[in-house]
Amino acid sequence: MRTTYRVLAHLVALGVAIQAASVALGFFFIIHEVEDGGVVSAGYDYESNLGIMVHRFGGLGLVPLAAIALFVVAFRTRTPGAVARAGTVFGLVLLQIALVFLAFTVAWGGALHGVNALAVLLSAIWAGRLFPRVRQGDESVRATVAA
């Protein structure tokens, strides 16, 4: 369970990195489209923008699912701090989704969405570091992790 916990925490962190890359990709797709004479309006076809589509799928699907799985697995690890760290990740992911809806109401909500993404990233890394990797033959680390 500890390995599963660590892997899920790092998957959330990786998901946030992919989210950052995909939103930048989507933004630059829009810039190139406008430079080529395209128009971005309320009826903009986001389905043709790969970056925006990846960002939506990851942000409303994969990252929240990984955060839920991390939170569930945290209870099974029976390790002090695991539930609190996973709960922090999960709570920040929920806040991230709420900030999306705020951002579509007021523009500064988008800035909070970006800052909170960094908090999700850091908290996921923090959660993943609860259990150090144990290499075969390293009995001193194995004894520390078992304690």
pLDDT at residue number 124: 97
Sign of CA dihedral 74, 126, 56, 22: negative
Q: What are phi and psi of 40, to 5 degrees?
A: -105, 120
The string of pLDDT tens digits covering residues 40-55 is 776 666 777 888 889 9
How many domains is the chain built from? 1
The pLDDT of residue 134 is above 70: no
Report the SS3 class of residue 5. Answer: helix
Among 24-33, 69-78, 84-93, the least confident range = 24-33
Return the percentage of the chain with pLDDT > 70, whole number: 86
Q: Is residue 26 part of a domain?
A: yes
pTM of the model: 0.82
Report the mean per-residue pLDDT for the chain.
Answer: 88
pLDDT at residue number 119: 98
Q: Is residue 142 part of a domain?
A: no
Q: Is residue 126 part of a domain?
A: yes
88 is in which domain, residue-wise?
A: 2-40+48-130
State the maximum Cα–Cα separation within the chain, in Å, rounded to a whole number. 64
Residues 6+ apart with CB under 8 A from 109: 99, 100, 101, 102, 103
Q: Is residue 123 part of a domain?
A: yes
The pLDDT of residue 85 is above 60: yes
Q: Is residue 105 part of a domain?
A: yes
Query: What is the Cα–Cα distance from 99 to 105, expressed in whole angstroms?
Result: 10
Structure-block tokens of residue 102? 């705020």
